[in-house]
Structure 1
């Protein structure tokens, strides 16, 4: 599926008895906003079922299975929620997503569209982070990342937000034994606009920060310390400062 320009909108198929099993999924077809894939299990008998959403996008599946697939259902959300991904800021050296990575995304925090969306994509590792802090506005004014690609080459992202004239924090990450596992911090409003007030970067070895001013509402991208993964990219929103930030995480 050519996401985000193409996305799942529905599933259909057949269910019924097969051998000694009273009710299985005997045929399955996937529908997108562009075309259909399948049916898989073509020619199978059974009772037809179909769920095609209008104005929505399928974001996940659930169901029941033993030796075979017994039942299937879907999670949906409005298709307009994809607009942030479709209109992200483009950069000639970025958006080089690595094939084969199993990644999940968390954020952006605080989750409201107040600035221009950006998405650096997915890389092998984050090598360095530059954080610009505005003491006058008490906000994180911008962030910039140095990424390593799978071929070992490094790419410096654009500065997301605005440069600071007084506070710039930089730290490097030892990619051999240290890697990012998440971010946390505080967000709030300045003149009615949601902004990142403070940010801290967490690795498997320690923490860098906080950088900024710790007041407002707390956010954290780490859902469980028991689940091992590393941050391989960032996305978010920015304007004259950093409005929101999220992470792409690769799980081992």
Structure 2
């Protein structure tokens, strides 16, 4: 661990992360998410794509896009001041994440996409323990899997 870096627990990813034609992505430590951009389909289409804005030392930073924003539906989730992620749940099928729901200390956003047979969920409890996202993308630039980082209570 790098000196001065907060220790985080890496959980997941859920989805099809063992495919041979995937690349990994990582948003470790980006805990102050202010906006989530999400593209999705309500049928068995090409899944979900994500992009985040987060606060880094008072500056707004835009993450890279994880999947193409060419799905039939697009939503912008804007978190209020003092609002933070307390859980993420969703579904995956074949080789794509097909549906995502985000929970905060104030409300639930979603579901975005189509519920399928394989369900997953991350629940951090009522305190702000979210530590970032990670996952995999296919060579077709589709979101194959998603995982999270969790701040341990002892930190």
Fold agreement, TM-score > 0.5: yes
Which residue does the alignment assign to 1:129?
A: 36
Match of 2:76 among 170, 179, 182: 170
Cα distance, 1:208–1:99 mapped onto 2, change above 3 Å: farther
Aligned pair partner of 1:250 in 145, 151, 154? 151
* Local SS of the residue matching 2:129: strand
User: How far apart in 2 are the matches of 1:153 and 1:248?
Assistant: 22
Counterpart position of 1:214: 115
Moved beyond 4 Å, runs of 4+? none
Which string of whole-angstrom CA distances, capped at 9 and with x for unpartnered residues, describes residues 131-172 of structure 1?
A: 1114564343311011111x2111101111112252111111
Rg comparison, structure with higher value: 1
Aligned residues: 149
Q: Are 2:50 and 1:143 aligned? A: yes
State whether structure 2 residue 97 is matched by structure 1 residue 237: no
Whether the aligned pair in 2 keeps the contact of 1:237 and 1:244 (CA below 8 Å) is: yes
Structure-1-length-normalised TM-score: 0.53
Flag structure 1 segments of 5+ consecutive residues without an equivalent.
3-97
The answer (yes or no) to whether the contact 1:182–1:247 under 8 Å persists in 2 is: no
Q: 1:139 to 1:216 in 2, by over 3 A?
A: farther
Q: Secondary structure at the match of 1:123?
A: coil
Name the counterpart of 1:202. 103
Q: How does 1:53-64 map to 2 (within 5 A)?
A: none
C-alpha separation between the residues in 1 aligned to 2:79 and 2:8?
A: 20
Q: CA deviation at 1:123?
A: 2.4
How many angstroms does 1:206 deviate by? 1.4
**Structure 2 residues without counterparts, runs of 5 or longer:** none
Question: Are the counterparts in 2 of residues 184 and 200 from structure 1 also a CA contact under 8 Å?
Answer: yes
Query: In angstroms, what is the RMSD of aligned CA positions?
Result: 2.3
Q: Deviation of residue 118 (structure 1)?
A: 0.7
Q: Higher relative CO (CA 8 A, sep ≥ 6), structure 1 or 2?
A: 2
Please report the TM-score for the alignment, with normalisation by the length of structure 2.
0.83
Alpha-carbon contact 2:43-2:113 (below 8 Å) kept: no
Residues 121 and 196 (structure 1 numbering): CA distance in 2 closer, same or farther, change over 3 Å? Answer: same
